[in-house]
Structure 1
């Protein structure tokens, strides 16, 4: 059964469908089950008209995709991007379903987005747009229905606007409806770095299984935003050696090791990463540079059939969502490159959100240090569970197949028990 030819898709969605089909065949799932998993339960499209400070009315289109709720309320971020599409949001919501299932979280998968360049808006315009989005979807969200969080170009301040508008229009004072909030209104400071912490934790436990530990291992990180910076910081503290980093403008290689704090200071001062001492490289060169561990933490599909055969890393840990295409997976597997998939590697953010959500539900009783330990423990447990299942049932396949198989099996079992399939 092919899901792809009959559906108009974005590239990311096509890649996710290919991966779903491959794993579904391994699990011998029925065609109707595969069809059900391939489509979100609901996609909400909204239009927000905004009168700008120049007096002109601007129209913005947004979406909320709710992929699957068999395991619990939908959970996933909201991104603000000029390039976001409905099918991209659908793909990301599917990935959130697998991610939450794999981590053993009581959630289904959701994702949202507004097609906007937030840098083009004044702060008050951005606030009105954020509030307009929530006003359009508030009937479909809630702490037991769908729990949005920050994503690309959204932050705690936007979550604060989301929350305040939700309370106003719904009449429900429910702080657990959103995660990634400011600390003053129920957020946890650990949430800022939870994705990077989780990514570093997974990298460390993976190297203990595959490369005899993280100490001294040469690491390259493509993308030096929040996730890339914190991953570099924690991996350096764990004993790894970050030799290369980059942003959208290019990168740097320094074999003696890079100080993440100094790179961050350059970025804060508006200077390019390439001004750091070392060899200037393009992002394309960075991805194929000799190293032990490669962490693509920027955008999707950067490793594909055109460059996968040139990758020299022994392990790839996916910090971004979908940085490898299905074709790249095949090539890397043949070349004995181990890939730790995104649905496991970058799930520290949703684990941090889970801790925040549960803390709000319980009345804010968790301290930050305890929250940090909970994230590390959950990430280590998820990797070890996946590794054991891989060795026992899926050893002839790669880790992505194993991780997706575990996640999909759990969703299918829950769906059948509930009578949804």
Structure 2
């Protein structure tokens, strides 16, 4: 969730993982729901994006636009992500502020993933945000792996390397062998498959700060399924930054923030209310937003008329923890007295904030000190443990169980 004026130089969103992580509106999930995002019941979207969120096989010369019926677009950023080099699609907001379109001659790349991040102001100066993703067409009989983290990024010590494939993989051992991950200093890294379209890699314990990691992707002409071959051949590197692990105690209503093992702050929080509890377990920050929209309808919190129990268009300082919609975020609408005292959220972890996001609030302080890849662990919640494939939840599996999910090891 984002204060675009205060942080104009920061990307609209730092988005990461090769699995689908975001949709038209975010939402706090109750741990028991575990529902995916979607645009169902979202006919009232303030900001409309074409192609639709999560669209696949988009033509490189297909229609790409962002529009608002009321108010004005403040900022639109369309970015090719999960490649060896990020690239922003050039475009212009119309003079009346109602639409954004690519510049003449701008063309999307084949076999690529794009994010769209837009911020708009209505007639009363209220800010709304939208984040969507789409992927362009992959040549017939070919496959690609969308991966995170990004090339040359600096990440937290809990980062898990994640691949989401454009087509189901049947020869998983061949694909896994074609992805080599090395580090300096060296550690053992193992792969784990979640189904036929996702492959994650991690070491036995969190990375050491300062580690430099190299991904050698040699998927070109590797047969992932009968008659279907890879097209990637590239090297990607990333660096592990300082260690930051934060422990949220849902029963005591506080979060301990530890930097390189030392306690640097104890922050009052509010977690999931009794009817919409927060997952327990280790979760990894995968996206950062100065501001975002959260609509309960996207994660199953609806009223009798089908509309969301809540629809907050300007949630500040949002850090995504799960695919299903768990965030750690700023909260300006709850009474200040609940932080450190009560659990009142729909499953997210809330930090005190102000409308528009304040740099000197607990949420602003934590947001400005967070990297994608940082670990947030929730304890003492009445809910179950987060699933290992819900976001980058693989740290909740033992090393033995993790390695058992490797197709290479299974193949001997």
TM-score bin (small chain) = under 0.3
Higher relative contact order (CA 8 A, sep 6+): 2
- The structure with the largest strand share of the pair is 2
Q: TM (normalized to structure 1)?
A: 0.27
